[in-house]
A = this chain, B = another copy of it.
Amino acid sequence: MSKITIAIDTLGGDNGAEPMIIGIKDALNIHNDVNVIVTGKEEELNPLVDRYNVPKDRIQIIHANEVITCHDAPVDAIRRKKDSSLVLALNLVKECKADAVISAGNSGAILAGGQFIVGRAKGVKRTPLAPLLPHSKGSSLLIDCGANVDAKPENLVQFAKMGSIYMENIVGVKNPTVGIINIGVEDEKGNALVKETIPMLRECKDINFIGSVESREIPNGVADVLVCEAFTGNVMLKFYEGVGSMFKNEIKGTLMTNIKTKIGALLIKKELNANLQRFSANDKGGAPLLGLKGLVVKIHGNSKDTEVSSAITQCRNFVINDVSGKIVDAFEGVKEDVQ
């Protein structure tokens, strides 16, 4: 059995390398066919590998002299910081020494590095960032949430196809429904981009397009793939995180109001936490940057070991199911141009 190699940037996250190493250890325990290469500070990584008994024949450490921080300008950092943990990890995919990269670092730098170092797959015009958004019945793929805004209709059509391939192969949804995020469900609603894209999506034979969807219905699981331009997607994703966090804090605050509510809190704590956990990012395995020559996965800056571990699982499924190959097949014959 040939091994799958996943490169992991251990710098740039908020919690340091420790949760990364714990997550790696857990993932290696589950998946015999996975090896990892970690980029970061040798002096920090070696003791952690020892402490958590990560099998040394399955982890390789590459020392990085630099780190790209959240304050660095993305494109400039990718070009200038050649010896950073992120650039070293991305180069491993470029040089076919790894199949995928996972990073908790600067989002813009991950997106820029994915494009400039790993490169777009044949036929792909734009490489969208596509996180899974938890809703009451499961999750939908919100595509695109990246930093590459002002997309064209043909880009959104590609997002719909890539998103469908992802949901079918990674999440296991048969014939996933695709909706375009709009300000009403009628075809005459929307901005110029959406109005121009809708008839193009209707003509796609290889996706299950259900038309416009309103954002109010997203938490009810209105579609498996939610297509939108990156500005809208990015704003929605961050708003979802912010509103979710606000409601959780408000509820926690309410439970601490007085002695009566504190007793009530003890009685509901277990069930409440279990339910709210469903809306946590930790088990979603990060957001993939789709349409590259290899897979790049962005995990949260404050990722815990569980998110690292599930991101490794996601990368493995991505490789095993040859999602990149299926995306290239879907866009066969698309004329190449400069993005």
Contacts and interface: CB of A to CB of B under 8 A. Distances in A.
Interface in A119-159: 135-136, 147, 149-150
A1 interface: no
Contacts of A188: 73
Contacts of A232: 231-232, 235
Interface stretch (A28-36, A212-220, A316-324, A325-333): A212-220
B242 A254 contact: no
A262 to B, nearest CB: 9
Interface residues of A, number: 60
Contact of A275 (B245, B254, B272, B279): B254
A181 interface: yes
A234 interface: yes
A246 B183 contact: no
A271 B242 contact: no
A267 B260 contact: yes
Contacts of A264: 263-268
B247 A183 contact: no
A242 B191 CA distance: 21
A47 interface: no
A16 to B, nearest CB: 23
Contacts of A194: 231
Contact of A239 (B150, B216, B230, B261): B216
Interface in A164-206: 181, 183-184, 188-192, 194
A79 interface: no
Nearest to A71: B186
A183 B254 contact: no
A240 interface: yes
B238 A235 contact: no
Nearest to A268: B264
A268 B255 contact: yes
A75 to B, nearest CB: 10
B191 A149 contact: yes
Contacts of A217: 242
Contacts of A108: 184
A226 B136 CA distance: 28
Contacts of A191: 149-150, 231
11 contacts: A136-B249, A149-B191, A150-B191, A183-B230, A183-B238, A215-B239, A216-B242, A219-B246, A232-B232, A243-B243, A268-B268
